[in-house]
Copies of this chain bind each other. A is one copy, B any other.
Amino acid sequence: MAPKLQVAVAGLGRMGARHALNFHNRTPRAELVAAFTPVQKEVDWAHVHLEGVTIYTDYDEMLKHPGLQAVVVATVTTAHAEEAIKGIEAGKHVLCEKPLSTSVEISQSVVDAALKKPQLKVMCGFSRRFDASYRDAFNRMDNGGIGRPSVFRSQTCDKLDPSGFFVAYAEFSGGIFVDCNIHDIDLALWFFGQDSIVKSVVAAGITAVQPELRKHKDVDNGVGIVEFWGGKIAYFYSSRMMAAGQHDMTEIIGTDGKLAVNANPSGTLVELHELTGVRREIPHDYYGRFENAFVTEANEFTAACLDNNKLPFKLSGAVQAVKIGCALQESLNSGQKINFDETGRRLESVKL
């Protein structure tokens, strides 16, 4: 029997638990051998759901798990970079949840660490890259289906969570452009080309439902425009107050056509005709929309590690995405448009 990739997952919170289950149950070529969490409740959960997996409460100890080959970093964002680097330095392949960090410099340090170990597979978990619909759209564009892609619109809009969770979360999330739109930014870089150079960034936002977000310099609705050198524009919307559920969507507009991804959100294929009209429900959260993409991610990461295949996208793009996200967040807060020259170097803006 072919050897399976020996995988550990760091973090067993909401997303970490999903990664752990996906590697445990839905990734035939991987074997989840270890998991790390400092949280007792998560340890208890793991004993029930991750049978046969060694649970560590110390990340460094977990890295020493015998035979371990790969680590999935799915802890809080603030720990991503340090744990990813430790994993790399310990000679493990690393799949790190997005963003690498909310800081451009720290994100870059992960890339630098990875560059020193070129034999390792180090990937940032941009799940939409593994979504069948986005891939379908990309292939159609890549095959010339819409001419030259020119305008890119993308949104990540979360269902309103009235618990106020997002206020506490905003302290470390990096802000709505770094936390939510990072996916849309990454998609723009995918569709426009990973090496696209930003020309300007401008953003605006409001706190429509959670004014407390302002203390963390964040908003619950944000709009941003990113110009790229070479005649391309991306614009983004993110929101924390959708009533009906999570709704991401993307349009890629080319000189000969347009691709729309999830313009018509739906959950199952059921429509209910009732007294008030025709109704359909949509997923409550991004996992309801992207569950299959996460499974594909786990399987493809595993295959790349085992077979020494190229990863589907470069780690350095994750730094570029954070850079754009941070610039949007800065523009949101300063009220200033930020400009860059054709080499991507920031131009000094004059304060009003």
Which A residues lie at the B interface, using CB under 8 A? 1-2, 24-26, 28, 51-52, 132-133, 136-137, 140, 145-146, 148, 150-151, 153, 200, 202, 204-209, 221, 223, 225, 227, 231-233, 235, 237, 239, 241-245, 247, 253, 255-282, 335-337, 339, 347, 349-352
Contacts and interface: CB of A to CB of B under 8 A. Distances in A.
A279 B281 contact: no
A185 to B, nearest CB: 15
A232 B206 contact: yes
A225 B204 contact: yes
A278 B279 contact: yes
Contacts of A136: 267-268, 270
Contact of A151 (B28, B148, B237, B255): B237
Contacts of A202: 202, 204, 225, 337
Copies of chain A in the complex: 4
A206 B271 contact: no
A136 B208 CA distance: 24
12 contacts: A26-B26, A136-B268, A151-B239, A153-B237, A243-B256, A243-B258, A245-B277, A278-B280, A278-B281, A335-B337, A335-B339, A350-B350
A132 B288 CA distance: 12
A24 to B, nearest CB: 7
Contacts of A132: 268
A122 to B, nearest CB: 26
Given A242-B273, A245-B277, A257-B275, 13 more contacts: A136-B267, A206-B233, A241-B253, A243-B275, A244-B275, A244-B277, A247-B273, A262-B269, A265-B278, A266-B278, A347-B352, A349-B352, A350-B351
A148 B26 contact: no
